[in-house]
Amino acid sequence: MKRNAIRKLPGVLAALFATGTLTAAAQGWEPTKSVEFVVPAGTGGGADQMARLIQGIVTKHNLMKQPMVVVNKGGGAGAEGFMDMKGSKGDPHKIIITLSNLFTTPLAQGTPFSWKDLTPVKMMALDQFVFWVNSAAPYKTAKEYTDAAKAAGPGKFKMGGTGAKQEDQIITVAVEKITGAKFTYIPYKGGGEVATQLVGKHVDSTVNNPIEAVEQWRAGNLRPLCVFDDKPMIYKTKVTATMAWSDIPTCKSQGMDVDYQMLRGIFMAPGVSKEQTGYYVGVLKKVMDTQEWKDFMEKGAFSQTTMQGDEYTAWVAKEEKRHEGLMAEAGFLAKK
Amino acid sequence: MAEIQALFHGFSVAFTPFNLALMMAGILMGVLIGVLPGLGGANGVAILLPLTFAMANQPGGATSAIILLSCIYWGALFGGAITSILFNIPGEPWSVATTFDGYPMAQQGRAGEALTAAFTSSFVGAFIAVLMITFLAPLVAKFALRFGPREYFAVYLLTFCSFIGMTKSPPSKTLAAMMLGFALAAVGQDSMTGALRMTFDQVVLFKGFDFLIAVIGLFGIGEILITLEEGLAFKGMQGKINMKVVMQTWKQLPKYWKTSIRSSVIGCWMGITPGGATPASFMGYGVAKRMSPNGANFGKGEMEGVVAPETAAHAAGTSALLPMLTLGIPGSPTAAVLLGGLLIWGLQPGPLLFQEKPDFVWGLIASMYLGNIAGLIVVLTTVPLFAAVLRIPFSIVAPVILVICAIGAYTVHNSMFDVWMMLVFGVVGYVFKKLDYPLAPLVLAIVLGDRAEESFRQALLGSGGNLATFFDNALVGSITALALAMLFWGPIKLVFSRLTGR
């Protein structure tokens, strides 16, 4: 048997590397060895799912001649992955997918890196945030809920979220600033766990991403109050018997002007050439044209905003400024 | 009996030649992955995930894909026991408890018996867990919802408390080893505040100490150092090697039915809540030692000490798939990767999955029955083969083990620093053994320390710092009370025997 198992191994390896045939391209840069796709977060989260989807699409449609390998480097809220990229100056065989920790981690921890240490490649999508309560709770609108929280007094209502001093807590503080309600914020490791804690009534509300909470919504366990965007989501297919994503009102329309989306973007190491970023932009464009990608976007109700080049760089710069402002207001900045 | 009907429909989905072939291939790969320390089931499944992407697009393909991946998972659960028993090197963290009695058995020339007992108990644990999933899934999923931070902490507390007094060493040494483990588990990010602690601005310390590295070093390298000192020889090479040993062991196993049932219950519970296979195996061992009439012989090569952790680990590993399917919460790292796979194949785990995708769910459950039977046959036929490894001279095997350990440590995070850390842990393991400090509490604390801390602080955040929250309702109150009873078991027993003695 052992011999059998060992004999199987080369077969597996061959299949793994089957994508890498050695027909050299006539023009432009192409990877000459396997590409490491760094995920600055643990397995199973939103960034990890998207990275593995991209890897799967690339493999299935033969979009790259070299294999793509997903590597999780989530230590220190992603600092591990970002520091690794920063240290890989000029290495074109490494790309990284980011979430908001691209901004929040250096600001909250004082880790010595910023997005300027990376080379922006392409924005893949923006992830939305929705205000959720348990469907057994009496609150039908965001205002009803925040008024009740305010009336109950500080610390009586619990808000569950992913991570500390990251996007979920930033939104919580922004909601508190506008409404005057004071929540007890309880950080958890992952979005799925947060949604389940709300179903089990261990917290009173969450700001889960759509994909983290959609199944519990469909099962009638959760109720969306509003979406933290200035316009409603575009997906009109009914998710529950009565509602589609597009039926969820904006928080702004409910008198709560909080607008926040999370970047799902791809970056490369510093000091790579235009040709090299161009190659990845091309591959990622092909990824986004596939049906699998479009299905995933709809299922997770992503905002399909996409950018590359200077426009993307300018967007990232603006977003960093905004996070600095939000986090300074919340008192989350690292003491220098 | 709608479940029976659904299950038979599931068998018709799973029982195709193609799926059976995938099952065998998955089990074989899984066993191989389980044998190599470091290359855990999670890594193995993650590597093969993209391959299944194309597979899932054919009709019924998602079922085939998850059959392949889950069989790798079963295989890894089976395989983890092999190196624990033969070399005292756990291939997977949930096999640590198996070393306590499995390795002494191998040293006494009973490696074949130990392997047979381990594989058979694994099968029993898994089988009971699958039965539970088949008939109690909706009920159990609801029960899991009742677990918030304070309930989790109570469960972790119970695991730790059932450990004190479990090893041969005095409780003070167990406590010291456990505290060192807590300190190591605290390195890295403080998940409650987002701040970094004890990292000294070293990027390599940001992610903290991975327990896999610690396990490989403490047990693997530590064991080699000890053997080097003791004169380069394996004990137990004279063991009998033939298929008869399987039958002989099976004759003895029914004696331990009470232990099997206890461990299965612990395993199912830990898999669902989700504590995972590692705490389940430790708790299974600890409870068996307390309850069994042979408890005093545990750690000296008692077969029951192999049965208990293996049954619990496999029951937990199997039932961990239930919260993944119904809640989208992975009960183990491997389940987390499988969860990612489901999403990529276009299946959204959640409360509605059982109703909306019955083909997939029941196909998977049917494959759990078939996969575990296939797995048992595969691993049992290899018992003589693995037992024969002990006949190879140490001077040949030791370098091979060393290289495999180093590769394993490197693969965990693709980091050379981890290989150095493994060597440091190896020296720590050697010193611990020389001074007669137990290693297992250290490992347990590294595995569960940060999770316990997180739940504790989440619970206190919610209660406004009031410790009474751990006795707030019947569920959490009884788990906490049980934990405290376990902690003070020694003194309680002493008082009790004195009272009854007079």
Query: What confidence tier does A262 reach under pLDDT thresholds 50, 70, 90?
Result: very high
Note whether residue B350 is domain-resident.
yes
CB neighbour list of residue B145: distance below 8 Å, 6 or more residues apart = A196, A199, A200, B327
Note whether residue B494 is domain-resident.
no
Q: Which residues of A touch B338 (CB under 8 A)?
A: none
Total domains, chain B: 1
Q: Which residue of B has its CA nearest to A294?
A: B346
Facing residue for B50 by CB, picked from A55, A188, A214: A55
Whether residue B439 has pLDDT greater than 60: yes
Domain span at residue B320 reads: 2-489
Contact flag B337-A73 (C-beta cutoff 8 Å): no
DSSP letter at A34 equals P
Average pLDDT score over residue span A102-128:
93
Nearest chain A Cα distance for residue B275, angstroms: 13
Instruction: Give the count of Cβ contacts less than 8 A between chain A and B.
Output: 165
Distance CA(B254)–CA(A82), nearest Å, equals 55
Facing residue for A218 by CB, picked from B28, B341, B350: B350
φ/ψ (deg, to 5) at A39:
-110, 110
| Among B residues 152-211, those touching chain A with beta carbons less than 8 Å apart | 188-196, 199, 203, 206-208
Query: What confidence tier does B324 reach under pLDDT thresholds 50, 70, 90?
Result: confident
Domain spans in chain A, listed from the N-terminal domain onward? 35-127+262-330, 130-254
What pLDDT is attached to residue A315?
95
Helix (H) or strand (E) holding A120: strand A119-127
Query: B208 in the Ramachandran plot: left (φ > 0), alpha (ψ -120 to 50) or beta?
Result: left
pLDDT digit string (tens) for A292-334? 899 899 989 999 999 999 999 999 999 999 999 999 999 999 8
The identity of residue B239, as a single letter, is G
Nearest chain A Cα distance for residue B457, angstroms: 9
Residue B342 at interface with chain A, using a CB cutoff of 8 Å: no
Query: B245 in the Ramachandran plot: left (φ > 0), alpha (ψ -120 to 50) or beta?
Result: alpha
Least confident span in A130-139, B57-66, B97-106, B370-379: B57-66
- How many angstroms separate the Cα of A57 from the Cα of each of A50, A287, A291, A294? 10, 6, 10, 12
Whether residue A248 has pLDDT greater than 60: yes
Q: Which two tokens stand for residue B451?
A: 């999770």
Contact flag B206-A43 (C-beta cutoff 8 Å): no
Q: Which residue of A has its CA nearest to B149?
A: A202
Helix (H) or strand (E) holding B203: none
The class of domain A130-254 in CATH terms is alpha beta
* Beta partners for residue B197, in sequence order: B188
Q: Are B75 and B376 in contact (CB under 8 A)?
A: no
Contact flag B29-A199 (C-beta cutoff 8 Å): no
pLDDT digit string (tens) for A92-102? 999 999 989 99
Q: Which residues of B touch A192 (CB under 8 A)?
A: 327-330, 339
Distance CA(B36)–CA(A48), nearest Å, equals 25
Note whether residue B498 is domain-resident.
no
Residue B97 at interface with chain A, using a CB cutoff of 8 Å: no
Whether residue A17 has pLDDT greater than 70: no
Identify the residue whose tokens are 């409650």.
B192
DSSP letter at A244 equals B
Facing residue for A108 by CB, picked from B194, B343, B454: B194
Contact flag B48-A192 (C-beta cutoff 8 Å): no
> By C-alpha distance, which of A160, A163, A266 is closest to A205?
A160
Nearest chain A Cα distance for residue B473, angstroms: 13
Query: What confidence tier does A268 reach under pLDDT thresholds 50, 70, 90?
Result: very high
Contact flag B352-A218 (C-beta cutoff 8 Å): yes
CB neighbour list of residue A241: distance below 8 Å, 6 or more residues apart = none
What pLDDT is attached to residue A318?
95
Contact flag A43-B207 (C-beta cutoff 8 Å): no
Facing residue for B25 by CB, picked from A8, A189, A218: A8
Facing residue for A5 by CB, picked from B28, B50, B193: B28
Q: Which two tokens stand for residue B217?
A: 């070093």
Q: Which residue of B has its CA nearest to A101?
A: B194
Q: ipTM of the predicted structure?
A: 0.86
Q: Are A125 and A196 in contact (CB under 8 A)?
A: no
Q: Which residue of B has its CA nearest to A111?
A: B201
Which of B71, B142, B344 best tests the A interface by mutation, with the highest count of A CBs <10 A?
B344
| Among B residues 359-388, those touching chain A with beta carbons less than 8 Å apart | 378, 381-382, 385-386
Q: Burial-class residue B458 by CB neighbours within 10 Å (0-12, 13-18, 19+).
A: buried
Distance CA(A278)–CA(A15), nearest Å, equals 28
Model confidence, pTM: 0.87
CATH of A35-127+262-330, one of 3.30.230.10, 3.40.50.300, 3.40.190.150, 3.40.47.10: 3.40.190.150
The identity of residue A98, as a single letter, is T
What pLDDT is attached to residue B459?
95
Q: How far is CA B304 from the centre of its chain?
A: 17
Nearest chain A Cα distance for residue B462, angstroms: 7
What pLDDT is attached to residue A13?
44
Contact flag B49-A109 (C-beta cutoff 8 Å): no
Q: Are A21 and A65 in contact (CB under 8 A)?
A: yes
Mean pLDDT for all residues in chain A: 89
| Among B residues 403-432, those touching chain A with beta carbons less than 8 Å apart | 413-414
Query: What confidence tier does B241 reach under pLDDT thresholds 50, 70, 90?
Result: low
What pLDDT is attached to residue B328?
75
Whether residue B502 has pLDDT greater than 70: no
Q: Judge if the upstream peptide bond of residue B274 is cis by omega within 30 degrees of 0.
A: yes
The CB density around residue A71, as the number of other CB atoms within 10 Å, is 16
Contact flag B333-A164 (C-beta cutoff 8 Å): no
Whether residue B293 has pLDDT greater than 90: no
Contact flag A216-B48 (C-beta cutoff 8 Å): no
Q: CA B283, B44, A37, B406 torsion: positive or negative?
A: positive
CB neighbour list of residue B308: distance below 8 Å, 6 or more residues apart = B97, B121, B259, B262, B263, B284, B285, B287, B288, B289
Residue B333 at interface with chain A, using a CB cutoff of 8 Å: yes
Q: Are B365 and B11 in contact (CB under 8 A)?
A: no
Q: How far is CA B341 from the centre of its chain?
A: 22
Distance CA(B286)–CA(B295), nearest Å, equals 9
Facing residue for B346 by CB, picked from A164, A216, A295: A295
